[in-house]
Amino acid sequence: MGTNGEPPPEDVFNILLATDIHLGYEEKDPIRGRDSFVTFEEILKIAVEREVDFILLGGDLFHISKASADSMHRCMLLLRKYCMGDRPISFEFLSDQDKNFLNTTQTVVNYEDPNINVSVPVFSIHGNHDDPVGQSHISSLDLLSCAGLVNYFGKNLDLQNIVVSPILLQKGDTRLALYGLSHVKDKRLVRLFEEEKVTFEQPTEHGGEWFNICVLHQNRAARGVKEYIPEDQLPEFMDLIVWGHEHDCRVVPEEAPHGQYHITQPGSSVATSLSEGEAIPKCVGLLKVYKKKFLIESIPLKTVRPFVFREICASEFNFTDDDMRDASEQLEEKAEETVNIMIQDAGKMLTDHEDQPTLPLIRLRFYYTDEAQMFNSVRFGQKFEDKIANPQELILMKRRVLERKEKRDVLDTEEMDRMFQEREDLTVEDYVLKYFKVKAEEGDESHCMSVLTALGLNEAVKASSDHQKTEAIEEIVKYQTERMKNYLLSLDINERNIDDEIKNFIIQKSGSERQDIHRELEKVSSSKAKTTASRNVASKSNHRDSNGNDEADQTIEDPDDEFEEEVAARGRGRGRGARTTRAARAPRASRGSRASSSSNRSRTAPQRTLPESFASQKTSSRSTANRSKVQFLDDDED
């Protein structure tokens, strides 16, 4: 330990945390177009002044996937200005870089590239705004990565089975495992978590000494059923979660519901929506990690445009009978007074930073109860054109329905919402399983299946409807029936105990996991494929046996030959060109044997696989072209 009980600086990671910078937001607006770049430059300045080891970004560096040339140019200039230099890097990169940067254009961490000098490395995942697009799945971060300005990690192209491999870093005695999970649609990611198809790999060496950080970009607030990631969904071995995508600033670490890890939410650095959450003061976090301990310092941003949000309701104001003006005029006057107060409050938010914009963002949410209380919002905003940055979006008028005073019953709305959410989370398969479970508990054998399992039938129905496997139900019934037969034949049973053995087997299989059923479906598919292949082989053998030679095998292996023999079976009219083409190939059997084989094949055509059929069609077209060319030469000779 250092002086005063503090850890030695050479063992402490200093990491600057920021998310949702949204470079290029409103870039064509003459007033607000530079806001995102001004604040991004301030963040980079903080990183240099605090001498951080690296910057960790939680997604949405750019506001759109295909950033404009101007936005990309400004970003690259800032990164070159503040992140390039001769300051040495004080930590080691221990993990396999080819695995960490698997799907990116640059598979080497930029500060180890001998062609560039990096003083402040930047590690970033992508968000929902700057995600990969196009046939090549390229994002704006790929361009920065290719230029050696950003270390882009956490990019997943396989959305059926996500594997998150950590970046392993070491500084002195402190070991850091950095997990990156770039944005995936919330419903898809929730389903993958439920199906246990999201894997977080752990380092095998120094097991309990790693400080595990996971940075992700997903919905944290509940925005609908399965439209967010529950806070307790992530692996419990994590120590800190850096949550991107949410714009309200909550840098101070919050303990997860199960208490296994903490969550920090830096929020956005620029207001992209005029909502209440965006009005919270913007900050970045300075994370310090020493072994298994950490500390986050909240650093306020001084170049953010002031933003004040407020709500008023028309029912809050009482008007005197002496005022002859209508309600809308009186309410417009009250709203104007409120906006002037908000502008004064915004003036108190100025930090005297030379780059901070002075015109504030003002948003007044006005609730009315009667349409007679409405007034012209566009004309109202024009009164403040020279005082605020968003006069067109100054006021938002929403109707509020007053609650009835007389209520017969007081409803527990929270309980109702919970019940509806539980119902929405259930699927048809869940109801089927619940039905058979209840019938089994009640002992109603007339409504219980005696051979099939409810789970197996459910998965077959799901495979048939979701994955278009039309034969899944029929095949799973055959498979489970055959499985029951084999099970009973392996036991010493009689008529008296056969029912008990069937029940025991069903109970045993009903408790199996879904993975077992998926394996059953895979076995069915593989057995079906083997059956089809064996039929093809048997068909080939029949042709070989009937002809007494290997003519059938040669015909199937060479689609060109098959086409010619089929033509020969239809008629004998051929030009010399056709014979010339056939003679150019390997020696064949006599014409008599070919005619016999062709006529036999015309009676019982062998089964061919789909690729073989397409190959025959392609070769047939080539053979036709060849014959037409040779026939043309024959005509010239004549």
Q: Are 253 and 266 in contact (CB under 8 A)?
A: no
Q: How many CB atoms lie within 10 A of CB 73?
A: 11
- Give 421's contacts (C-beta < 8 A, 6+ positions apart): 225
Burial (CB count <10 Å: 0-12, 13-18, 19+), residue 308: buried
Tokens of 357: 């914009």
**520: three-class secondary structure by DSSP:** helix
Helices 428-442 and 454-466 meet at what angle, rounded to 10? 170
Q: Does residue 262 carry a catalytic annotation?
A: no
| Active-site residue, from 129, 183, 217, 247 | 129
What does the DSSP assignment read for 320-366?
-TT--S-HHHHHHHHHHHHHHHHHHHHHTT----TTS--SPEEEEEE
- CA separation for the pair 391, 459 (Å, rounded): 56
Pairing of strands 361-368, 240-244: unpaired
- Dihedral of CA 473/474/477/478: which sign? negative
Cα–Cα distances in angstroms (integers) from residue 515 to residues 235, 456, 578, in the given order: 21, 10, 57
- CA separation for the pair 427, 43 (Å, rounded): 46
Question: What DSSP designation does 369 have?
Answer: S
- CA separation for the pair 106, 84 (Å, rounded): 17
Q: Where are the alpha helices (DSSP H) in 356-412?
A: 377-382
Tokens of 474: 């029929």
Cα–Cα distances in angstroms (integers) from residue 498 to residues 80, 444, 540, 609, in the given order: 78, 19, 44, 43
Nearest Cα to 454, choosing from 436, 430, 473, 472? 436
Helices 559-570 and 591-603 meet at what angle, rounded to 10? 90
Nearest Cα to 288, choosing from 14, 6, 56, 9? 14
Q: What is the largest CA-CA distance in the chain?
A: 117
Helices 454-466 and 498-510 meet at what angle, rounded to 10? 50
Phi, psi angles (nearest 5°) of residue 252? -60, 125
Enumerate the active-site residues: 129
